Amino acid sequence: GRLYSQLVDLLAFYLGFEINDHTGAPLTDEDIASAHCNRILTLQRLCFKHIEKLRELALSHCAAIEKRDVLTEHLSALDEDELRHLATRQLRLVDPEDPWAKDPAFLLETTVSSFEKRRSQRQAINEMPLYPNEDVLWDENVVPSVTYTGDGCLALPKLNLQFLTLQDYLLRNFNLFRLEATYEIREDVADALRRLGPRRDPETGEVRLSGWARMALPIAPGRLAVTEVRKPNVGETKPAGVTCEVRVNLSSVRGNARAEWDQIKQHDVLYLLAAEGPAAGAPPGEDATPAERHGLKYARGAEVIEVRDGEGRLYNDFTGRVKPEDAGPPRGEERVFVLALDAAQYQLDANRMAESDGEDVYAGMNILLRRKPKENNFKAILECIRDLTNADVVVPEWLHDIFLGYGDPAAAQPANMPNQLRTVDFK
């Protein structure tokens, strides 16, 4: 039922898409908020005039009753006949002849979903982590690992011939590119886990890596620390920035692999993994994912801010602020990577840890993974698309409809444009 649930979510997303259903014009966040408040105001006037039981709902301000649980609590005070009369006769949300009109649970859900506040698409994208975590990496319904034959359907946006708005075009590309990058990251993580072979020592309980991987290094316990969590910006819930330091030892790396680790520079993306090895008892079956086979608990991405050697000397600096005597080629075997964690992901982890009183996600990270630079530019592309969704992108009027797949494609040719210049004065 997971796939069916995702398809229903996709349908609900486009049912509430931010577009005028009659003219096709895109709606701004202000238009959406104004229409939502008007709907709530209409409901309150109706309740104030005709329904004594909902007098408290009628006298509350908009923000106090727009949440789903609050609306459900207020409307649950009505009995079955009153709820049916409200939904079918007064609000006209359901046809009185509809067989489902006899189900009070359906009527309650219809009424609540019609008046609850929906999160805007821009807000959803801004709060979404750009790095895939362990849940997304091995979700077969989102990113299938087998070759897709086309027999079934996937809950994915389609890059078809038409798009509702420019925002719809950007959102579909954002989601598809994010999932494509997720598939590539999953293959690299699975390869590194297979080569490292994490195992838990039954006597001491420590996790040891029995193998070696060119693209990954072990992180000793206590060598990763979150050093800074900045306060959120105005209007946001996630921190403005989260910084951590990771200390690794390159003594086990030689030759070209050592040079590749020394070439990591600012804005490169690394991955922090927490792998505990296979669970004690029965070995995982053939259908087990690499995460289950190697005991992967957490996977987090981070962007490099700066790289230092064991003596604190900074190298690969592009700011020009570092004095020549404080920079230079790296010395010794130890490297210190100062990383910027994804603030949205960190906030989700912090909320989960506060609610369930769980363990610190970042304290158990024991593997530092890198990828080939040519294949690792997904974060910059996703950030660019996200910035475009937050900006008012202006597309020329003569190109707008054709770009979205509407109208006559030949209308954008110079000979067919209405405002073409017959003569050009070159002075």
pLDDT in tens, 170-225: 999 999 999 899 999 999 999 999 999 888 887 777 888 888 888 999 998 888 99
* Greatest Cα-to-Cα distance within the chain, rounded to the nearest angstrom: 88
Which of 87, 97, 103, 96 shows the shortest CA–CA distance to 46?
87
Using left for φ > 0, alpha for ψ between -120 and 50, and beta otherwise, residue 205 falls in left
pLDDT at 121: 83
How far is it, in rounded angstroms, from Cα 365 to Cα 270?
13
| Tokens, residue 146 | 């087998």
Work out the average pLDDT over 284-308.
85
274 phi, psi to nearest 5 deg: -120, 105
Confidence (pLDDT) at 317: 62
Does 256 have pLDDT greater than 60? yes
Residue 360 is encoded by which pair of tokens?
């610190």
15 C-beta neighbours (distance < 10 Å), count: 8
Q: Which of 76, 73, 170 is nearest to 125 (CA)?
A: 170
User: Is the pLDDT at 282 greater than 60, yes or no?
Assistant: no
| Res. 316 pLDDT band, cuts 50 70 90 | low
- 38-72 pLDDT tens trace: 999 999 999 999 999 999 999 999 999 999 999 99
- Structure confidence at residue 50 (pLDDT): 93
* Share above pLDDT 70 across residues of the chain, in percent, rounded to a whole number: 93
CB 54 within 8 A of CB 74: yes
- The pLDDT assigned to 303 comes to 94
Q: Express each pLDDT in 109-140 by its tens digit.
A: 999 999 999 888 888 888 889 999 888 888 87
pLDDT for the residue 373: 87
Listed in sequence order, the residues at least 6 apart from 68 whose beta carbon sits closer than 8 Å to its beta carbon are 112, 116
What angle do helix axes 397-404 and 166-196 make, rounded to 10 degrees? Answer: 50
Residue 18 near residue 32 (C-beta atoms within 8 A): yes
Q: What is the pLDDT of residues 349-394, one digit of tens each?
A: 888 888 877 678 888 899 999 999 888 889 999 999 999 998 887 8
Band the pLDDT of 84: cuts 50, 70, 90.
Answer: very high
pLDDT at 414: 80
CA 319 to chain centre: 30
